[in-house]
Chains A and B, each alone.
Chain A
Amino acid sequence: MSNPVKVQPDLKFVQELQAVGGESLKKCYQCATCSVVCPLSPQDDPYPRKEMVWAQWGLKDRLVNDIDIWLCHNCGTCSDLCPRGAKPGDLLGALRNMAYRNLAAPKAIGKWMSSSKYLPLLVAIPAVLWLVIWVIRAAQLGTAFPLFEADGHSWKIAEQGAVVFGGLFPGDFTIDPIFVLTFFTMIGIFVAAVRKLLASFADLPQVYVLGQKERPGMLAAFIDTIKYEVLRNSQIEECGDDPKDAQRFKGHLLIMYSFIALMIVTGIVFVAHWGGYLLMWLGAPEGLIDFVMLTGHTPMSLVNPVKLLANLGFFAGILGLIWLTGRRMSLDKAKQGSSWYDWYLLTIIWVIFLSGFGAQVFRLMGQQFIAYPTYYVHLVAVWMLFAYLPWSKLGHLVYRTAALAYAKKIGRIPMGPRNK
């Protein structure tokens, strides 16, 4: 050969990949069926055939800087039709799992999130945190399972009172500070991780489309991604064409909108509550302050539109969860595997939804001995979802959005709606 290329395989990397879900990659014989049957893969340098050979050869540099792992939405069509059972879909999933593990700092959490054996540790952190608060509050109130009645804007212990979570875990100095701190720390971690992700794409070739006047800027590409890929799940809709894939699309959309609904509910409560304090501090009229505070006052009546939205979100989310979990459980394991990342995310969302709804039901039933522990589980699970988000599969919300926007910017995928 006139131009020999010496391949420097990173064997440890191949083993790592096999460990996180790409175990059958060595079976691939490069027939390229996968690249053809993929409903999303572009014409030039389609995936996942090239990723299979890179992985077999241990070409770590190519794989960790590969934007295509985020273009894949894991319908599994490639693995279904793979003549060798080499599961290219699982390889791309494994590469995304590696990204969840390595993109965000500190990497120690990435390691803990990568295997079920660290789960007790991950649970223990919020479990201890909320337990300490519970114990301190129990000492202050004289009981761990208090009942309350209203006393102006606050709560006081009452024998014949009701279960009030805000009485045991006051928002002002327990829930809100902890979650606000957690949330913004997470945002900060994401900012750094996304910068790292985008920097890894820096060497990717730019695609020039004939007749295209100008290349979209990152902002335009980002807005376009939010509009189609995020809010409409347009890529998942195109991804795969059997009934199970349609079920996945609907399930994903439902859970996503369920989260958006719950985010709006939380936002209203938070803004109204702290907005009330702000108005007080500004010396706004009493009536306005009362109105704003009342809007965010919890517990809410079941017919309060905000509460209705929350419960609607719950039922939509549960339906989505049933579809997604059902699909994942029915996957043919010979064709498509499920990793710890998949199960962790599904489980944590199940726990959040069931404990959240359960806490509401037990509260209304006045069962303080079940209601408070259920609420405690809810706090632990919600904290885990947010605090560990950059290292979890849910991190795709940020990483995939960033990668897709970048892919649009460099012309790897087109702007605007995709034609089926």
Chain B
Amino acid sequence: MSNNSILVVGGGFAGITAALEAAELGYEVFIVEKNPYLGGRVAQLNQYFPKLCPPSCGLEIQFQRIKKNPKVKYFTLSQVDAVSGGPGNYSVKVTKQPRHVNSRCTCCGECAKAARTEVDSEFDFETGKRKAAYTTHLFAFPARYTIDPTTCDKIELERIKDACPYDAIDLDEQPKTFDLNVGSIVWATGWKPYPLEKLTNLGAGKVANVISNMQMERLASPSGPTNGRIVRPSDGAEPKRIAFVQCAGSRDENHLNYCSYICCMASLKHVRYLRERYPEAKIVIYYIDLRTPGRYDKFKALTVDDPNLSLVKGKVAAVAEDAGKNPILTVENAVTGIKNDEQFDLVVLATGMQPSAAGEKLPAGLPVDEEGFIIGGEDKGIVAAGCAKLPLDVMKTAQSGTSAALKAIQNVVGR
């Protein structure tokens, strides 16, 4: 029995775009998203390219489209366990983890007030804390709290439940497994930041004031853990000397053996974040090559016209820390041939994008390259989109989502 509906795995920018494009052409679409929210990595950014919009802007439009279109159904906290069947007739096994909060939730926040135990916030990349009852960010969609029962003890959980004025909390909710029958699949599982722990010569994530570029996004975000104040994690002080370490793990056969495409631009964007807040701060970008593809070159030209910003060719290869928790970078300036130790208040590592599926075996035998990027599957009726396929910016991710939607439709039409 053939089926015209489409499954989109991953509810980030690529997945949402693919789902909406297909749904608006009349196809039934299911989005399966691992996180409690849709919007993926874009939701974690402060501003995104090309126009430095806050993510609430672009995503809000997408969420409105989802809400208004009955053809789009989404499952958060859900993952695909297995795919069987073939093009036109897939049977997909999905497991949905319990949110413990039902649709009566109004995001009043009483549950979070009742919660006490705090753990590192995954959404904020450990730059902030969350409780057992939490929302990840202000414009989270679906607008509903999540309860993580592993975070605290039973007594606290009961207190959280009792605090809800709308009886929206169900602590007994169990994981649910169900099957979806679809004709085509879009695989848009996106990317994850390359782990700092693996960058042993860049502090391995153990130096307090060395943060990743994604942590920088959370610090800069007005709805982030510091309400948009970019400060040192160790003492909350305002940094006066900031360094960016490009290719932290990218273009490196020991880590990610490819260019992650957007990190150079991300660092230049971060220079703008910093410049807005600290007009006098001294900033250095250490790079191998500054890669500013296409029209981004203009952005670079405007950003580097700044007497307090210097660009140094040379990759940082050693990170230490002094008694004042100031990071010390060792780098050879490849132009002058001088190797120096430089002290900074805050260092940002421009870590790259690793496909989320790296190291995992994908259902339906999707072929991946040695880095974990999907390199085929269209013959099987499965279309990869976004950063699951290759490192991209948001604009190109959206384009790849649209293109995947068309291919997915071609897979189901006329069957």
Contact = CB atoms under 8 A, between A and B. Distances in A.
Nearest to A37: B317
Interface in A19-45: 29-37, 41-45
Contacts of B252: 83-84
Interface in B333-348: 333-334, 337-340
A44 B339 CA distance: 6
A50 interface: yes
Contacts of A46: 332, 337, 339
Interface string B264-291: 0000000000000000000000001100
Interface in A36-87: 36-37, 41-46, 49-50, 80-81, 83-85
Nearest to B287: A31
Contact of A30 (B316, B317, B330, B334): B334
Contacts of B331: 32, 36
A35 to B, nearest CB: 4
A411 B316 CA distance: 26
B261 to A, nearest CB: 17
Contact of A33 (B313, B317, B337): B317
Contacts of B144: none
B183 to A, nearest CB: 43
A37 B252 CA distance: 15
Contacts of B332: 32, 35-36, 46, 49
Contact of B316 (A29, A36, A41, A83): A36
Nearest to B252: A83
A205 to B, nearest CB: 12
A44 B315 contact: no
Interface residues of B, number: 24
B413 interface: no
A50 B339 CA distance: 12
A351 to B, nearest CB: 38
B69 interface: no
A4 to B, nearest CB: 17
A328 B24 CA distance: 64
B251 interface: yes
A43 B339 contact: yes
B64 interface: no
Nearest to B253: A85
Interface in A164-217: none
A37 B340 CA distance: 12
A294 to B, nearest CB: 60
A46 B339 CA distance: 7
Contacts of B251: 29, 83
A31 B255 CA distance: 15
B254 A83 contact: yes
Interface residues of A, number: 22
B341 to A, nearest CB: 9
Contacts of A84: 252-253
A57 to B, nearest CB: 14
A35 B255 CA distance: 19
Of B254, B314, B332, B334, which is in contact with the most chain A CB atoms at under 10 Å from its CB? B332
Contacts of A33: 315, 317
Contacts of B314: 31-32
Contacts of B337: 44-46, 50
Interface string B286-299: 00110000000000
B339 A36 contact: yes
Contacts of B316: 36
B243 to A, nearest CB: 14
Interface in B298-319: 313-318
A42 B317 CA distance: 15
Interface in A314-349: none
Contacts of B103: none
Is the contact region of chain B dominated by helix, strand, or loop, or is it mixed? loop
Contacts, number: 65
A43 B288 contact: no
Given A81-B254, A81-B317, A32 B334 contact: yes
A12 B333 CA distance: 30
Nearest to B289: A29
Nearest to A29: B288
Of B252, B255, B330, which is in contact with the most chain A CB atoms at under 10 Å from its CB? B252
Of A31, A34, A84, A85, which is in contact with the most chain B CB atoms at under 10 Å from its CB? A31
Given A32-B332, A46-B339, A84-B253, A37 B318 contact: yes
A83 B253 CA distance: 5
Interface in A339-364: none
Contacts of B255: 83
A267 B384 CA distance: 76
B339 A41 contact: yes
B340 A43 contact: yes
Interface in B225-276: 247, 251-255
A26 to B, nearest CB: 15
B317 A32 contact: yes
Contacts of B340: 43
B201 interface: yes
Contacts of B317: 32-34, 36-37, 81
A71 to B, nearest CB: 14
B212 to A, nearest CB: 18
A126 B340 CA distance: 52
Contacts of A31: 247, 288, 314-315, 334
A229 B337 CA distance: 26
A289 B337 CA distance: 65
B31 to A, nearest CB: 37
Interface in B173-205: 201
Of A37, A50, A83, which is in contact with the most chain B CB atoms at under 10 Å from its CB? A83
A387 B201 CA distance: 45
A32 B338 contact: no
Contacts of B254: 80-81, 83
Contacts of A30: 288, 313, 334
Nearest to B257: A83
B106 to A, nearest CB: 51
Nearest to B337: A45
A141 to B, nearest CB: 64
Of A41, A42, A81, which is in contact with the most chain B CB atoms at under 10 Å from its CB? A81
B338 A44 contact: yes
Given A43-B339, A46-B332, A36 B288 contact: no
Given A32-B315, A83-B247, A43 B334 contact: no
A374 B250 CA distance: 56
Contacts of A45: 337-338
Contacts of B247: 31, 83
B370 to A, nearest CB: 14
30 contacts: A30-B288, A31-B247, A31-B288, A31-B314, A32-B314, A32-B315, A32-B331, A32-B334, A34-B317, A35-B339, A36-B315, A36-B332, A37-B317, A37-B318, A41-B339, A42-B339, A43-B339, A44-B337, A44-B338, A44-B339, A45-B338, A46-B339, A49-B332, A49-B334, A50-B337, A83-B247, A83-B251, A83-B254, A83-B315, A85-B253
Closest 3 CB pairs of A and B: A83-B252, A36-B317, A31-B315
Given A33-B315, A80-B254, 17 more contacts: A29-B251, A30-B334, A31-B247, A31-B314, A32-B332, A33-B317, A34-B317, A36-B318, A36-B339, A37-B201, A43-B338, A43-B340, A45-B338, A46-B332, A83-B254, A84-B252, A85-B253
Interface of B: 201, 247, 251-255, 288-289, 313-318, 330-334, 337-340
